[in-house]
């Protein structure tokens, strides 16, 4: 059974293109509201559920937060693919920073991994809001992923990096 997000309450949550802009425990500047440090956020859920959810070919969406969970699961898969050849934490950090510098596509642009997952932007302002949120959440996910993909001594954690070979929802990561 696929794991779903616990963020089903949509009240008071801003959306862009049907994507909820959920609060993050983040120091990274962006449009996401700030969450309490002791609460679980969507990035925590994505990392926690990744190794189970990556095995599924289908994902039944029960809330808009599940769409964001799908996006983050795919992003974690891409990030692990980049980390696969990195033998030290320093190399991995450099690879993740380079991944974070890439342009973030939004629905309707080429390169967006899930056409139809989110609605097309109604305006340029909405597209930029979603782009900035996705950039912020990707950076936050990257930072937290490094702490699980590498051990405290800086060596790779094979129990995480082995999942770089998996295809999420039958999508091949370039």
Express each pLDDT in 40-78 by its tens digit.
899 999 999 888 888 777 778 888 898 999 899 989 988
Query: Strands, DSSP E only, in the chain?
Result: 15-16, 19-20
What pLDDT does 112 receive?
87
Instruction: Give percent of the chain with pLDDT exceeding 70.
Output: 94
CB atoms within 10 A of CB 25: 18
Burial-class residue 120 by CB neighbours within 10 Å (0-12, 13-18, 19+).
middle
**Tens digits of residue pLDDT in 135-146:** 999 999 999 999
Question: Which residue has tokens 């802009």?
Answer: 21
Give CATH for domain 15-165: 1.10.1760.10
CB atoms within 10 A of CB 162: 13
Task: Give the Cα separation of 152 and 117 in Å (integer).
Answer: 36
Report whether 41 contacts 35 (CB < 8 A): yes
Task: Give the Cα separation of 19 and 129 in Å (integer).
Answer: 11
- Two tokens, residue 96: 């993740």
- Two tokens, residue 89: 């934490």
**Tens digits of residue pLDDT in 6-39:** 888 767 788 999 899 999 998 889 999 898 888 8
| Closest listed residue to residue 75, CA positions, set 138, 2, 147 | 138
For residue 171, pLDDT beyond 70 = no
What pLDDT does 168 receive?
63
């Amino acid at each position: 059974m696929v794991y779903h997000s616990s963020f089903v309450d949509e009240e008071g949550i801003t959306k862009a293109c049907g994507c909820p802009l959920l609060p993050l425990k983040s120091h990274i500047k962006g449009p996401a509201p700030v969450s309490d440090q002791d609460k679980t956020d969507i990035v925590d859920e994505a990392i926690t559920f990744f190794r189970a959810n990556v095995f599924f070919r289908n994902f039944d969406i029960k809330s808009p937060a599940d769409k964001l969970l799908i996006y983050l699961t795919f992003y974690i898969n891409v990030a692990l693919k980049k980390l696969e050849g990195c033998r030290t934490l320093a190399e991995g950090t450099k690879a993740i920073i380079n991944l974070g510098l890439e342009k973030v596509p939004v629905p309707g642009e080429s390169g967006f991994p899930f056409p139809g997952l989110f609605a097309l932007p109604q305006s340029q302002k909405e597209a930029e809001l979603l782009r900035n949120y996705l950039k912020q959440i990707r950076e936050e996910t990257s930072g937290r992923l490094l702490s699980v993909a590498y051990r405290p001594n800086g060596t790779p954690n094979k129990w995480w990096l082995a999942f770089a070979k998996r295809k999420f929802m039958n999508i091949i990561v370039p």
